[in-house]
Amino acid sequence: MTNGSCRVRTLAGLSAVLFLLVACGPSDDNEEVVSIVSGRVEEGRRLSEEACAVCHAIKGDYAVTPATGAPSFTIIADNPTYTELGLTVFLNSHHDRMPNYVLSAQDQADVIAYIHSLRPPKVEAN
Ligand code: HEC
């Protein structure tokens, strides 16, 4: 159960990551590294309440959840690094202060769809 050949963490932030991850390919023991499935916002909200809300403010305008120091999902949603791919990489990486989740590709896609549903509307500068 290793995915050492695809150390996704080291690739974070590269726009070519998706290509590289796909090129690494699903092998027998890491078939769920990248979500190719489409996310469902409502499912993602439910999952976030179950798995993430204990540490993250998963809705509303809070910047940081005081008890844990975890950024709110609104802040995460507004971070340009956290595209669908960026979040997928994050959710498959090791964290020091956050549990390492093993979420199915569908669950990841759902959570990401929910986070992205919190993105503020973009204001055109002119
Ligand atoms: C036990 C507490 C805890 C839980 C549960 C938790 N997180 Fe976190 N999370 C943190 C902390 C603390 C940070 C900030 C430190 C870090 O990045 O490791 C963080 C950071 C993040 C970040 C990166 C934010 C940034 O700006 O760098 C994302 C994305 C994230 N969490 C998503 C999730 C999702 C999705 C879930 C549910 C599946 C979840 N977290 C569950 C504690 C938690």
pLDDT tens digits for range 67-91: 778 899 998 999 999 999 999 999 9
pLDDT tens per residue, range 27-78: 444 444 454 688 999 999 999 999 999 889 998 766 667 677 889 999 899 9
∠ at Cα 60 (101, 124), nearest 5°?
Answer: 105
CA of 98 to the centre of ligand 1 (A): 5
Fold assignment, 38-121: Immunoglobulin-like (2.60.40)
Q: What span, in angstroms and rounded, lies between the C-alpha atoms of 82 and 75?
A: 10
**Listed residue (35, 2, 38) closest to 17, CA to CA:** 35
pTM more than 0.75: no
Q: What string of H, E and C letters represents the secondary structure of 32-60?
A: CCCCCCCCCHHHHHHHHHHHCCCCCCCCC
Identity of the residue numbered 17:
V
Instruction: Supply φ then ψ for residue 38, to 5 degrees.
Output: -90, 145
Q: What span, in angstroms and rounded, lies between the C-alpha atoms of 62 and 81?
A: 19
* Closest-lying ligand 1 atom to the alpha carbon of residue 75: 26
CA of 124 to the centre of ligand 1 (A): 30
CA 97, distance to chain mean position in Å, is: 15
